[in-house]
Amino acid sequence: MCGIVGFTGSDKQLLESMLSSIEHRGPDGQGTHLDDKVSLGMRRLAIIDPNTGWQPIWNKDNSRCIIFNGEIYNYADIRKELVKSGMTFRTDHSDTETVLLGYDLWEEDILKKLRGMFAFAIYDVKKNELFIARDRLGIKPLYYYQQNDVFYFSSEIKALLQIPGYKRKANKQSLFNYLKYRVHDADENTFFEGINRLDAAHYIKVNSAGKITSKNKYWSPEVNFSFNSKKSDSEYANELREIYVDTVRMHLVSDVPVGISLSGGLDSTGVVAITKQLIEQSSATIHTDKMHTFSVIYPDASMNEENYIDIAADFVKSEKHIIKPTVDAFWQEIEDWIYTQEEPTISSGPYANYNVMREASKYVKVMLSGQGGDELFAGYIPYFSSYIQSALEANRYDALAREFLKGADLYFPYLLQVAKKKIARSKSVQAEDLISSKVFAGFKFGYTPSKGLNQRLFEDLTKYSVPNLLRYEDKNS
């Protein structure tokens, strides 16, 4: 990861303080730019073009510069297109410079060409304007705060807490959503009053007076909300495989060692299997003698997928790293973990990922995972209820009967588990008891999980599930 910070106006001491607070995001060095209109800084973890890709990067006539966090997987193709158009590059093969020169040529339309994870800010000297954008799914974070005609932004909240005069207060609406519905990261609000996140697939323009002059969404996923398929299963399978392989290949673009988080599930197992195939075909490299996989094993037998992890790791002949989180270790590290997360989580599950990332950092600089696979392919048992609803609405009783019979051995034990949890919660302190106080009087949130399967998957991908998973993973890495 890398980290970026900045604000309108000039304050060297504040810039250094903000950069110091996110030093962990970029151990390879830092870069800054200050003038009377803007202050910019970044901490770098060098992944692509480690020798010449230092930031901020300026264009040829020094009219624009960029600070960038993330990686562009198709930068080489875009770079070729820019060279054909007459653009001149200063770096060897920096994806960051590719974004900057792409903005020079296409302005905000460059965002439609990018495949990757990113949050960046481009400073236009002539216009005295900041152009700030975030990737399509919000893999890379970007937070901002406005105070006294100054606009501040950062990759982490803790940098914004360095701002003189900022009073730390909880965002009551965010707390209400969290306590009542277990919802967070679903909109631009954070748990800190006044501090917002830039929504995924959005860009903003900020003038020298610290005002957001425009905010636009540049992408939305294409979704078939109908239950009925437009293609055959084999057609979908072939298309998925092609996209899946191409995506893994592009994510392996790196100049440093790459590892993989292996949970034993279909999502991460697919990633390691395709990576092995690409390496054997000389279509990718991971810059290590052996593939490194990192896995969590729990003492609870119901959550232990060690057998599947072993099968996958043995198949790809990886260097297998096993992490076993314990309750004692959790309590010993809870303060550091909370500091890392910055905001509440809905479970202690992200602590396992925290341990994985810590172990992985000893061996590799880049980690791939199958995060979001369950939300894309309905891998959680509760999605079966949405499937039933969709099948009934479409009068597809044949499909309903077929899937119901196949999934009965999983679905009914799940319903029993839900009932047991409800009984247990009725005997404990409830979130409902907390939010009924005067503190949350009058707060509302229109959260109603969609009944249709594809609609629910879409909402979990863009609002209710994947955004918080991405937040955990970024903080932990």
292-296 vs 258-261, strand pairing mode: parallel
| Cα 399 to Cα 4, 237, 298, 411, distances in angstroms | 50, 18, 36, 16
Containing 134, the helix (H) or strand (E) segment is strand 129-134
CA distance 139 to 149: 29
- Of 1, 2, 22, 142, the active-site residue reads 2
Sole residue written with tokens 């980690």: 367
Can 65 be counted among the known catalytic residues? Answer: no
State both tokens at 73: 């997987």
CA–CA separation, 216 and 204 (whole Å): 7
CA-to-CA distance for 86 and 84, rounded, in angstroms? 5
Q: What is the distance between the alpha carbons of residues 250 and 284, in angstroms, rounded to a whole number?
A: 9
Return the structure tokens found at 19: 């950069």
* 3 contacts: CB under 8 Å, gap ≥ 6: 19, 22, 25, 26, 42, 43, 69, 154, 155, 156, 159
Q: Which contiguous run of DSSP H or E holds residue 133?
A: strand 129-134
The tokens for 311 are: 């099968």
Q: Which of 206, 212, 284, 203 is nearest to 245 (CA)?
A: 284
Q: b/e map of 449-464 (b: 16 or more CB within 10 Å)?
A: ebebbbbbbbbbbbbb
Q: Which secondary structure element, helix H or strand E, spans residue 243, and what is its range? A: helix 233-251
443: left (phi over 0), alpha (psi -120 to 50) or beta: beta
Q: How far apart are CA 114 and CA 201, in angstroms?
A: 11
H-type alpha helices, 58-113: 75-84, 95-106
194 annotated to a ligand binding site: no
Nearest alpha carbon to residue 369 among 279, 466, 447: 466
- The dihedral over CA atoms of 340, 344, 346, 349, expressed in degrees to the nearest 10, equals 10
95 annotated ligand binder: yes
**Residue 31 labeled ligand binder:** no
Q: Which of the residues are catalytic?
A: 2
Binding site membership: which residues? 95, 296, 369-370
Binding site membership for ATP: which residues? 296, 369-370
Binding site membership for L-glutamine: which residues? 95
